[in-house]
């Protein structure tokens, strides 16, 4: 492209932006003129129609009483919003419409409770009020009798258990949006992962956690994840409980032994290199304190569905300030809670109000470096858990933090302000604006100018259709916006009926103990076999020695027998005679003595001599 054409393109783009800005200015001017005309019409109507009052009348310059002015009539847009957000069933109130920078109390914005299981997203830059929005929603749901689970990353939501503090600024805000405000505390149950922090410990077993979620925590690749799944499969077939990380380590170590390799031969092996990577990652996870997260007593997710004696829903706040350096662990642990709810709860279909609403704070941590299998599981869980009466709200900075397949399941949106300080921020801003339904707002501009505690809201109506995007000033919390003091938190946990059940960890017999016993038995069997083999070798040596001795004895006997025969032969031969000695008594005696001597020697050699 030539310099001239580049310059022309830039000029055209600048002119287009200028025209768009001028159009926005004209629209704003038109809205201001319309508001002024409506105010003038209301003033004239009040002067000509409204009767004067005795006490509230003001005095004109001529001393005559002036009738009290009626409030501004709602605009066409306010009427449209009020009608779109009206519902026949129960509604979670969120706030009031904002027009030209001012709240319109007659146009209330809320979310039908029966649509809460269509899930949602609360997004916005840091400091724009997401946490307070989460607090307001938790309060409204609890008041409607709906249990709530919130992940309290920064430890800010424990104040739900204490009443709020009134102030003039707070009163001005709540009056402007038509919010009836009274300081209130809500039923709160404080939880913590494995006892790190103040709260009821939440634990689960390695088996229940599963290889897919554990692979996400350990940062394994696809091959290593598959090998870990093989370890879980083998342990399950052998009836070995993987309760904690030492159970998993013991199982992997066993499968690397000769006996373990033989058992895996039919279903695929476990390479030493892959096992080494998994073991190193497990050791690193243990070094981060993850041992306390895995074990028993395992937490029952049914305890999240409780209501208080007064009928309000219990707010379960998982305190996580002590594990912020382990984001993959606690975000995946929260995903386990949701997956366990899905597996445990029965199908209920569409109900008037959800059985539980689950707020997943810092949701981007869940999807960072996630494998395809993990994303598939998250998507399926979010899609299917709706029929269990559970609503899931992801809380994060921008919609792009959530995968598209998951984002497509989120029908309710509360979008706080975004920043556009960098090119990446600008691209994220444009992408966010495109995720909203068609609107007359200039969404890209409005998203950068929203005040703290304001948001763009669109939800699903009771008919399932998206409501118009509404610039909303959100309600203020009724409870304390500051965390509970440490002593108050400790007292709250101590008074919980769940403390006796979950406070103390239990270490029962599992894979580690069973495999240790198996290894000890194998060593004992090996020692016994070695002793038996040594005894057999010793017996064999004795047998061979006895055979050698017997053979030597036979040879000696044969030698002596041959010698005797030679003696007998010599003695039986007639001696040379110089004179006849036949039949002499001396010859007879010598022959008898030789025969007796031969028999005696033979008996001595073969042991037949009589004693």
* pLDDT, tens digit (0-9, with 9 covering 90-100), for 359-398: 988 888 778 777 777 788 888 888 889 999 999 999 998 8
More confidently predicted of 76 and 43: 76
What is the pLDDT at residue 78?
A: 92
Q: In what order do the strands lie in the sheet with 102-112?
A: 102-112, 91-99, 470-474, 454-458, 412-415, 120-123, 390-396, 356-361, 148-152, 315-319, 188-193, 200-202
Dihedral class, residue 63 (left if φ above 0, else alpha if ψ from -120 to 50, else beta): left
Strand residues in 128-281 grouped as ranges (E): 148-152, 188-193, 200-202
Q: Residue 278: which pLDDT band, with cuts at 50, 70 and 90?
A: very high
At residue 573 the predicted structure's pLDDT band, cuts being 50, 70 and 90, is confident
Confidence of residue 583 (pLDDT cuts 50, 70, 90): low
- Residue 611: pLDDT over 60: no
Asked whether the beta carbons of 595 and 564 are under 8 A apart, the reply is: no
User: In sequence order, what are the residues at sequence separation of 6 or more whose Cβ sits closer than 8 angstroms to the Cβ of residue 501?
Assistant: 297
pLDDT at 173: 94
Helix locations, 499-584, DSSP H: 499-502, 511-572
CA distance 107 to 96: 6
For residue 523, what pLDDT band results from cuts at 50, 70 and 90? confident
Q: Is 441 left (phi over 0), alpha (psi -120 to 50) or beta?
A: beta
Percent of the chain residues topping a pLDDT of 70 = 80
Per-residue pLDDT at 365: 78
What is the rounded CA–CA span in Å between residue 177 and residue 103? Answer: 6
Exposure on the CB side of residue 38, measured as CA atoms within 13 A = 14
pLDDT of residue 46: 35
The larger pLDDT score, comparing residue 535 to residue 473, is at 473
State residue 11's pLDDT score.
56
Say if strands 120-123 and 200-202 run parallel, antiparallel, or are unpaired: unpaired
The DSSP bridge pattern shows strands 356-361 and 412-415 to be unpaired
> pLDDT: is 270 or 501 the higher one?
501
Average pLDDT, the chain: 82
Pairwise pLDDT comparison (129 vs 333), residue with the higher score: 129
Domain boundaries of the chain, sorted by first residue: 90-202+296-502, 204-295, 523-574+581-606
Q: Which residues contact 219 (CB under 8 A, 6 or more apart)?
A: 281, 328, 369
- pLDDT, one tens digit per residue, over 170-196 is 999 999 999 999 999 999 999 988 767
pLDDT reading at 305 higher than 90:
yes
Mean pLDDT for 26-53 is 44
pLDDT (average), residues 584-598: 63
> Residue 6 has which token pair?
């580049």
Strands 356-361 vs 148-152: parallel, antiparallel or unpaired: parallel
- Is residue 363 a contact partner of residue 397, using CB atoms and an 8 Å limit? no
Predicted local confidence at residue 61, as pLDDT: 33
Q: Determine the CATH number of domain 90-202+296-502.
A: 3.40.50.300
Q: List beta partners, residue 99.
A: 102
Can you give the pLDDT at residue 177?
95
* Greatest alpha-carbon span in the chain: 200
Integer angstrom CA distances of residue 33 from 98, 100, 173, 284, 472: 17, 11, 26, 65, 22
Q: Does residue 167 register a pLDDT over 90?
A: yes
Per-residue model confidence (pLDDT) at position 52: 34
Question: Over the stretch 439-486, which tens digit does the pLDDT of each residue have?
Answer: 889 999 999 999 999 999 999 999 999 999 999 999 999 999 999 998
pLDDT for 99 equals 93
| Alpha carbons 98 and 95: distance in angstroms, whole number | 9
Give the pairing of strands 91-99 and 470-474: antiparallel
CB-based burial label for 35 (10 Å; 0-12, 13-18, 19+): middle
Do residues 336 and 209 lie in contact, with contact meaning Cβ atoms separated by under 8 Å? yes
Mean pLDDT of 82-86: 94
């Amino acid at each position: 492209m030539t310099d001239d054409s580049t310059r022309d393109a830039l000029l055209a783009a600048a002119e287009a932006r200028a025209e768009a800005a001028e159009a926005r200015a004209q629209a704003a001017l038109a809205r201001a003129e319309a508001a002024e005309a409506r105010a003038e019409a209301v003033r004239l109507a009040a002067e000509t129609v409204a009767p004067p009052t005795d006490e509230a009348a003001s005095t004109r310059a001529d001393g005559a009483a002036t009738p009290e002015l009626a409030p501004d009539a709602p605009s066409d847009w306010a009427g449209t919003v009020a009608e779109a957000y009206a519902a026949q069933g129960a509604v979670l109130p969120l706030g009031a419409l904002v027009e030209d920078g001012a709240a319109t109390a007659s146009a209330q914005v809320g979310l039908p409770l029966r649509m809460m299981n269509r899930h949602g997203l609360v997004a916005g830059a840091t400091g724009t009020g997401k946490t307070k929005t989460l607090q307001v929603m938790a309060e409204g749901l609890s008041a409607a009798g709906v249990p709530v689970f919130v992940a309290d990353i920064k430890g800010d939501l424990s104040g739900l258990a204490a009443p709020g503090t009134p102030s003039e600024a707070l009163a001005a805000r709540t009056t402007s949006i038509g919010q009836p405000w009274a300081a209130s505390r809500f039923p709160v149950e404080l939880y913590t992962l494995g006892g790190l922090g103040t709260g009821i410990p939440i634990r689960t077993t390695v088996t229940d956690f599963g290889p897919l979620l554990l692979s996400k925590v350990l940062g394994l690749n696809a091959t290593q994840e598959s090998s870990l799944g093989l370890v879980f499969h083998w342990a399950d077939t052998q009836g070995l409980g993987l309760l904690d990380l030492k159970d998993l380590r013991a199982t992997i170590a066993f499968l690397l032994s000769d006996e373990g390799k033989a058992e895996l031969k039919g279903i695929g092996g476990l390479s030493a290199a892959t096992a080494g990577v998994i073991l190193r990652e497990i050791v690193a996870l243990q070094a981060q304190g993850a041992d306390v997260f895995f074990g028993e007593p395992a937490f029952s997710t049914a305890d999240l569905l409780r209501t208080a004696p007064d009928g309000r829903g219990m707010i379960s706040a998982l305190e996580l300030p002590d594990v912020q350096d382990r984001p993959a662990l606690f975000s995946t642990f929260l995903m386990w809670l949701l997956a366990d709810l899905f597996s445990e709860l029965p199908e209920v279909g569409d109900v008037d109000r959800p059985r539980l609403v689950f707020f997943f704070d810092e949701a981007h941590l869940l999807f960072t470096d996630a494998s395809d299998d993990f994303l598939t599981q998250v998507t399926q869980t979010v899609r299917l858990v709706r029929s269990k009466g559970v609503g899931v709200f992801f809380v994060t900075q921008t919609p792009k933090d959530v995968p598209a397949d998951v984002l497509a399941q989120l029908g309710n949106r509360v979008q706080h302000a975004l920043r556009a300080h960098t090119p990446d921020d600008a691209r994220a801003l444009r992408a966010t604006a495109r995720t909203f339904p068609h609107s007359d707002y200039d969404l890209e501009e409005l998203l950068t100018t929203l005040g703290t505690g304001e948001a763009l809201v669109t939800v699903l109506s009771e008919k399932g259709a998206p409501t118009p995007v509404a610039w909303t000033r959100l309600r203020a919390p009724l409870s304390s916006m500051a965390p509970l003091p440490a002593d108050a938190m400790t007292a709250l946990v101590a008074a919980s009926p769940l403390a006796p059940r979950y406070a103390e960890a239990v270490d029962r017999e599992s894979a580690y103990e069973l495999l240790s016993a198996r290894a000890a038995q194998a060593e004992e069997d090996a020692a016994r076999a070695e002793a038996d083999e040594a005894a057999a070798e010793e017996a064999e040596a004795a047998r061979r020695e006895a055979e050698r001795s017997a053979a030597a004895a036979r040879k000696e006997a044969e030698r002596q027998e041959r010698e005797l025969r030679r003696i007998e032969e010599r003695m039986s031969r007639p001696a040379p005679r110089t004179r006849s000695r036949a039949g002499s008594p001396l010859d007879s005696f010598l022959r008898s003595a030789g025969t007796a001597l031969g028999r005696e020697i033979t008996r001595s050699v073969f042991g037949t001599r009589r004693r």
